[in-house]
Amino acid sequence: MIQDIAPHFLDNHFVPGKEPSPDSPVVCFNGKDVLLRYDEKTAQEAALAPEERPINFALAESRTPVGDLHFLPTYGELPEDTNVRFLFTYDGVDVYRAKLSVLDRAHNEPGIDYGDSLVVVNKAMNSKVMEGFLFDSIRDIRQRVILEKNQVFLLMTALQLNNWYVDNKYCGRCATPTVHSPRERALVCPECHRTIYPRILPAVIVAVTYYNEKEDKHKVLLTKYSPKTGHAFPYYALVAGFTEIGETLEDCVQREVMEETGLKVKNIRYYKSQPWGVVDDLLMGFYCEWDEEAQKALSDGAGSLFDDKGDPVIHLDENELRTGVWLTPEEMTLQPDAYSLTNEMMLLFKSESIHSPNDLPLALQRKDIEALEREFYK
């Protein structure tokens, strides 16, 4: 998964007042776009629309004194009026975030000249950035595989913190501008003294399994998002959803599966968790199985519980999903990368390491799962 970055290590311990050196790497965001280092050739390719860019579109080979973080600008390369704040430490290197700066204003207001250090290198996206750099979306970075997994994890974690800073410039209680706490990673309202910490949203990922006696095969419920949700993710995924107030994780599993597919489930067993910084989630994965008896009680004899294949009938919430199917390990297709908890849970079913919740706790170690990833992602 995206957080499995060993032998690299991200230490999120916050040190108030830490100051950068000229060689300190700095993450500069504009929305979900991040500033990356490119050479002239790749910058020209980046000027193409994302769908027209080469699949193997690569970052410049230039290196800075921070080695593995060469793709980020250093503090010494940024304009002198750029304010930064310490984020975390990566492999012993302090990483910073650029606060509201000339870079943000230039990217948001194309056509306005903010100085000789800014040039247009990506006319198709109307971006003004420093020479040798351009803004690129984290989604495109992930899909084009132009960074290593550990580097993408760093950017996703930085994005989560950046969003928190941006979303809490003002106190949500009295609208006073917030200030940084001198003691911890927190924003404080100087008027009403409210303290604001980075938010984390609990959500569940659910693999619903079923043994089809007619076909003598184990199956898992896979879904695809509806365009109505705004998700452009075209690949199969598992049922997922956010935990509501006053709800346990197990209650959330039952509710989300029922709301999205009309299915009752039982034997809910926890598998693993994952931070997912793009949307501030802490994802918690569960396996469960279809509950035929509860489904019978719910239907009260109205209509068959099974389709022609012998699978439980799915009743999709079409505002959330466009597809819901029961698939065997042989039939299912994995997502194109091994970053997500969803995909790891799908991988374990496809490799037949898990047929049902009864196969938990999983005997496989992380090294075994990585071996499976190498097998299915050759």
Same domain for 273 and 211: yes
**253-260: long-range contacts (C-beta < 8 A, 24 or more apart)?**
253/204, 253/206, 253/286, 253/288, 256/204, 256/206, 257/206, 257/208, 257/288, 259/317, 259/320, 260/223, 260/316, 260/317, 260/320, 260/321, 260/324
- Does some domain include residue 29? yes
Listed residues 164, 192, 224: the one ending a domain: 164
The pTM assigned to this predicted structure is 0.83
Flag whether 180 is in a domain: no
**Is position 170 within any domain?**
no
- pLDDT averaged over 10-residue windows placed end to end, the chain, 378 residues: 89 91 90 77 55 44 52 87 89 86 43 36 48 78 77 92 90 94 94 94 97 95 84 85 96 97 97 91 96 91 86 92 95 90 96 96 92 86
99 DSSP assignment: -
Q: How far apart are the first and last CA of the chain?
A: 16
Give domain status of residue 373, yes or no. no
Query: Does any domain span residue 178?
Result: no
In a domain, 182, yes or no: no
Strand duo 217-225 + 265-276: pairing: unpaired
Distance CA 208, CA 264 (A): 10
Taking CA atoms, 101 is separated from 28, 84, 114, 116, 270, in Å, by 9, 9, 11, 15, 44
Domain that holds residue 240: 201-364
Give one DSSP letter per residue of 188-244, joined into a string.
E-TTT--EEPPP-EEEEEEEEEEEETTTTEEEEEEEEE-GGGT----S-B-EEEEPP
Residue 138: inside a domain: yes
Q: What is the CATH number of the domain that holds 273?
A: 3.90.79.10
- With tokens 């004194």, the residue in question is 65
Number of domains in the chain: 2
Listed residues 139, 164, 189: the one ending a domain: 164
> For residue 172, what pLDDT is reported?
92
Neighbours of 110 (CB within 10 A): 12
Asked if residue 160 and residue 25 are part of one domain, the reply reads yes
Same domain membership, residue 249 and residue 351: yes
Asked if residue 316 and residue 255 are part of one domain, the reply reads yes
Shared domain check, 212 and 358: yes
Q: What is the pLDDT of residue 44?
A: 57
Q: Residue 111 has what pLDDT?
A: 39
Q: Are residues 136 and 205 in the same domain?
A: no
Are 120 and 237 part of one and the same domain?
Answer: no
The domain boundary residue, chosen from 138, 164, 190:
164
Same domain, 215 and 348: yes
Contact 68, 62 (CB under 8 A): no
Is residue 24 situated within a structural domain? Answer: yes
Is residue 214 located within the same domain as residue 105?
A: no
155 and 93, same domain (yes or no): yes
- pLDDT of res. 48: 56
- Asked if residue 113 and residue 208 are part of one domain, the reply reads no
**Positive/negative CA dihedral, 15, 19, 21, 27:** positive
Query: Which of 49, 47, 46, 87 lies closest to 69 in space, CA to CA?
Result: 87
Say if residue 351 is in the same domain as residue 303.
yes
